[in-house]
């Protein structure tokens, strides 16, 4: 039986201990695997729905092109809408996780973070197809990050907020690496959560003015680089999602963290780029997204501190 004063029986030091939060991180990492896989697919479905709607919009065609749409254009849009309507519903919760090779529905005991992958020896129980090692690695990474955040910040309620921010950053980094897309559905809530948490006094050591300035400086700094590069070369060097991600990091860490984050992201990007080139995985003309390095830079600044990062590069 749980006592009425459960907080006295389970002190904050235990509830927010690195080990307990690391275990919680395993479960969150399992959920992040679903988010990382499904959010881009959900976005692509929405984009195709937008395309279908545009193909059937005769008035829009007339405004843009100054004439009537070709006869088959609207029909193509209607056909596309029919195909989209025939797809099974896709959300974060539906359908149940399945093996991509044979369609085997994953049972609950086959979905226990890390343990199930080890017990199944990394293979589907039905068809023996390999299950990517990335799934347990994401779970382990989330657990490690949650544990480190708890150790770094101590047993205070703000740790839970930072763990939530870290989980979103990890999901954004992997989605961007896979698809070169940083979804607004993750970057914008991260930005507003940082501002709201600061306004409510839930992030000790930071004022609302610093958070707002951090969001503004983060967005405008990369926005300026984007336009300078485009005006000089005629090409786009990064996406708008990078601006929003750095704005979100500024909202959580303050305007003082923007330079350390960008510098750390550049260092991480250079190291990863050299490693990819050495292994032959970086081919000529291949686009490498900047979002994962921004997220990594933000995590390093969070865990090591602004002054420490600046001292590493001789700026302290």
137 and 286 in a single domain? The answer is no
Residue whose C-alpha is closest to residue 249's, from 178, 160, 187, 311: 187
**Average pLDDT of the chain to the nearest whole number:** 90
Full domain range(s) for residue 28: 1-155
Q: In terms of pTM, does the model score above 0.85? A: yes
* Residue 61 pLDDT: 92
- Token duo for residue 310: 């600046």
pLDDT at 87 over 70: yes
User: What is the tally of structural domains in the chain?
Assistant: 2
Q: Specify the pLDDT at position 160.
A: 94
**Lowest mean per-residue pLDDT among 63-77, 213-227, 280-294:** 280-294
pLDDT, residue 1, reads 40
148 and 19 in contact (C-beta within 8 Å)?
Answer: no
State whether 197 and 86 are in the same domain: no
Other CB atoms within 10 A of residue 292 CB:
24
Residues 193 and 119 in one domain: no
pLDDT at 59 (0 to 100): 93
Confidence grade of residue 174 (pLDDT, cut at 50, 70, 90): very high
Lowest mean pLDDT among 121-125, 191-195, 311-315: 311-315
- Do 38 and 175 fall within a single domain? no
Q: State the alpha helices, DSSP H only, in 180-207.
A: 184-199
Task: Kindly report whether the peptide bond that precedes residue 104 is cis, defined as omega within 30 degrees of 0.
Answer: no
Residues 246 and 284 in one domain: yes
Q: Chain-centre distance of CA 27, in angstroms?
A: 17
Q: Work out the average pLDDT over 170-198.
A: 97
Same structural domain for residues 234 and 286? Answer: yes
- Predicted confidence (pLDDT) per residue in 262-309, tens digit: 999 999 998 988 888 888 777 665 678 999 999 999 999 999 888 888
Query: Based on the domain organization, do 44 and 122 belong to the same domain?
Result: yes
Q: Are residues 145 and 246 in the same domain?
A: no
> Which pLDDT tens digit goes with each residue over 129-139?
999 999 999 99
| Residues 181, 267 within the same domain | yes
Note the pLDDT of residue 306.
80
């Amino acid at each position: 039986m749980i006592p009425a004063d459960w907080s006295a029986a389970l002190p904050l030091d235990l509830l927010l201990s690195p080990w307990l939060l690391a275990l919680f991180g395993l479960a969150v990492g399992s959920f992040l695997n679903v988010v990382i896989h499904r959010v881009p697919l959900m976005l692509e479905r929405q984009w195709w729905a937008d395309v279908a709607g545009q193909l059937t919009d005769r008035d829009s065609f007339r405004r843009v092109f100054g004439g009537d749409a070709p006869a088959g254009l609207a029909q193509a849009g209607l056909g596309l809408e029919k195909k989209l309507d025939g797809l099974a519903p896709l959300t974060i919760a539906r359908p149940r996780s399945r093996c991509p090779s044979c369609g085997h529905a994953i049972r609950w005991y086959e979905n226990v973070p890390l343990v199930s992958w080890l017990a199944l020896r990394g293979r589907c129980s039905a068809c023996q197809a390999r299950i990517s090692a990335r799934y347990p690695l994401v779970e382990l990474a989330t657990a490690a990050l949650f544990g480190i955040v708890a150790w770094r910040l101590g047993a205070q309620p703000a740790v839970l907020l930072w763990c939530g921010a870290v989980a979103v950053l990890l999901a954004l980094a992997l989605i961007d690496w896979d698809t070169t897309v940083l979804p607004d559905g993750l970057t914008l809530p991260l930005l507003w959560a940082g501002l709201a948490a600061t306004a409510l006094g839930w992030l000790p050591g930071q004022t609302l003015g610093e958070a707002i300035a951090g969001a503004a400086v983060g967005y405008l700094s990369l926005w300026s680089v984007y336009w300078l590069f485009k005006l000089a070369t005629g090409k786009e060097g990064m996406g708008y999602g990078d601006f929003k991600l750095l704005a979100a990091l500024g909202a959580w860490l303050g305007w003082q963290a923007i330079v350390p984050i960008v510098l750390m992201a550049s260092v991480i990007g250079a190291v990863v780029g050299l490693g990819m080139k050495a292994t032959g995985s970086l081919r000529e003309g291949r686009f490498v997204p900047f979002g994962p390095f921004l997220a990594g830079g933000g995590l390093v600044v969070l865990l090591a501190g602004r002054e420490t990062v600046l001292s590493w590069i001789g700026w302290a």
